[in-house]
Amino acid sequence: MSKFKKKRGKGTPGITTASLPDIIFMLLFFFMVVTSMRDTTNLVKLSLPSASEVKKIENKELVSYINIGVPVNPELHGTAPRIQLNDAISGKEGIPLFVEQERVKKGEAKRDKMIMSLKADEEVTMGIITDVKQELRKVNQLRINYQAGQRTGELK
């Protein structure tokens, strides 16, 4: 007993770190809420091209994605470039329905401002891209974005 009492009485008390876990947890939750996890996995290989005149998309809520590239799993989907809509490999016939679903998801106000972002592998040919573009034009989804990274070097 006396031993303990002596210790408490003497010396400056240490800084209490009891609230530290709470602070850190708060930070943790903040990051968990703010950062969004990717909700779809890429079923096609994507190596995006780069360009010098790229612009940032200010409002990410307006964006929907179409992936175009060679399937990751060739046994299942073949080796030719394919279109990925949401979580499935699809043909170009699936695009009108996909656009309609995305429009419903965006809601009334943002529907007209929706941007369809084409994430296409740099190795694919224009045939499939043109098909996608034509389908989008047919359903009047005219705002598109060719997703590309920022090119830093000079053009060869």
Partner 1 sequence: MPSKKRDAPEINASSMADIAFLLLVFFLVTTTIKKDTGLQVLLPPWSEDEPDPTKLKARNVFEVFVNADNQLLVRDEQLRASKLRERAKEFIFNPTGREDLSESPNKAIISLKNDRSTNYETYLTVYNELQAAYNELWDEQAQRDYKKPYAELNKAQQKDVRAKIPFVISEQEPDNVDG
- With binding defined as CB under 8 A, does residue 6 bind partner 1? no
Q: Which range of residues in 52-60, 72-80, 91-99, 103-111 is near partner 1 by CB under 8 A?
A: 52-60
The residue from 42, 86, 90, 145 that contacts partner 1 (CB under 8 A) is 145
- With binding defined as CB under 8 A, does residue 129 bind partner 1? yes
Q: Output DSSP code: residue 52.
A: S
Q: Output DSSP code: residue 14.
A: P
Yes or no: say if 49 and 150 are a contact pair by the CB < 8 Å rule. no
The residue from 3, 41, 55, 108 that contacts partner 1 (CB under 8 A) is 55
- With binding defined as CB under 8 A, does residue 5 bind partner 1? no
Nearer to partner 1 by C-beta: 101 or 130?
130
The residue from 7, 11, 56, 79 that contacts partner 1 (CB under 8 A) is 56
Backbone angles phi, psi at 154, to 5 degrees: -80, 160
The residue from 2, 35, 79, 152 that contacts partner 1 (CB under 8 A) is 35
Q: Which range of residues in 21-29, 71-79, 89-97, 104-112 is near partner 1 by CB under 8 A?
A: 21-29
- With binding defined as CB under 8 A, does residue 96 bind partner 1? no
Dihedral angle, C-alpha 97, 99, 103, 104, nearest 10 °: 20
Classify residue 66 as exposed, middle or buried by CB count within 10 Å of its CB (0-12, 13-18, 19+). buried
Instruction: Report the alpha-carbon distance of residue 20 to residue 16 in Å, rounded.
Output: 9
